[in-house]
Amino acid sequence: MTLTDDELRTETFAERRRLADLLGGLTPEQWAHPSLCEGWRVREVVAHITLAYRHSGLRVVAGILASGGNFNRYADKIARKDTATTSDAELLESLRDNAEHPWTPPRGGQAGALAHDVLHGLDITEPLGLQSAPPARIAAAIGDPDKRQLKYFGVDLTGVSLRGTDANITIGDGEPVDLPAKDIALIVGGRRPVPGQ
């Protein structure tokens, strides 16, 4: 099922509110817990999620250029810098206050904004053993990733078809592998290996 931009926006805002509520109940130890993003704790992931709310687009572009045009290098640097100067409470406030912020990633549109927040939400909830986003929201966030998106995360689905057991989603056209939507998201987002590979 394909959602309209308005429906995607509604889901994005709902996911941000869900994450803010979840983060509001974390202990300092949980904020310091390793996430699924290599080298980042929960607080660095939240700093990354809220980057666009706390830094201007011009500052982000300048930072990327200063990092040799490498967005991942810049994202790592700014997340670490921000968590050294911004408290967990301030990061949470930024997320809560910007739940309905209009930010969308370049070339990603509203679908990209939802995917960004859902996937990074899983980076937090999975290692902490907390509730993930609803399966239908995860399926909407994954959508139907193209080869460029899969390649970005180092994912090769040759010969595999990932089918949701709790949401209407199928990705790939090979041998079917039935999984919950969150596991499919973790695979296509490069957080878990493709089954059988």
Percent of the chain with pLDDT over 90: 90
Q: What strands lie across the sheet with 175-179, from one edge to the other?
A: 170-171, 160-164, 175-179
Mean of pLDDT values over 65-70:
96
pLDDT tens per residue, range 86-131: 999 999 999 999 999 999 998 889 999 999 999 999 999 999 999 9
User: Which has the closest alpha carbon to 182: 138, 117, 149?
Assistant: 138
Place of tokens 């859902």: 118
Please name the residues in contact with 171: beta carbons below 8 A apart, sequence gap of 6 or more. Answer: 142, 144, 145, 157, 161, 162, 184, 188
Place of tokens 């390649």: 151
* Domains of the chain, start order: 5-133 (1.20.120), 144-197 (no CATH)
Predicted TM-score of the model (pTM): 0.95
